[in-house]
Structure 1
């Protein structure tokens, strides 16, 4: 019984860091994944006409660079969890056929003004 209690406590302690605020790096990683899922769903990854990226790896490199440039240490000291959730959901629901919808998502819904905040919330 005591061993089971100890294991339960250790499991809870291991999960606690996941309950804290999202780091900028984790947010960038999540947004990169969501963006590349979007491009894959819109059939923009692969060879041929109309493709944005040759493969998933190229998409991940380009999208990581985009989000690292958008959410820097200087302009994004902490992540607004609600803003990040809205950004990720909007990436998933952005129309494949609307350039205006895409630009709105990339620069406004997922911009630093929407996703970042001055300090981490307690």
Structure 2
């Protein structure tokens, strides 16, 4: 019985170590993904619309996606890194497609270092 418990503890420790070593591309629970119009298009448009409503977006500047992150949380949380020339923004959009729900939950400016 003790050997079985010992082996279970070792297995858990190894799985945690494996997960940590393979999640270096994650940011706060988010996994970086490639932008896909079919998957991310509506959420990205919601992010752009939100920035426009805050009068952040300049209509004569074409936005560029610098990075896309996502995580699963009773829906999908997307984090878009959007650049307008040298001005960057991070916009988080929560999506529940089965409820037709898209909601911007946060946005912040990317400060240059």
TM, length-normalised to structure 1: 0.30
Structure label with greater radius of gyration: 2
Q: Which has the higher contact order (CA 8 A, sep 6+)?
A: 1
More helix, by proportion? 1
Given the two structures, how large is their TM-score scaled by the length of structure 2?
0.32
> As a proportion of its length, which structure holds more strand?
2
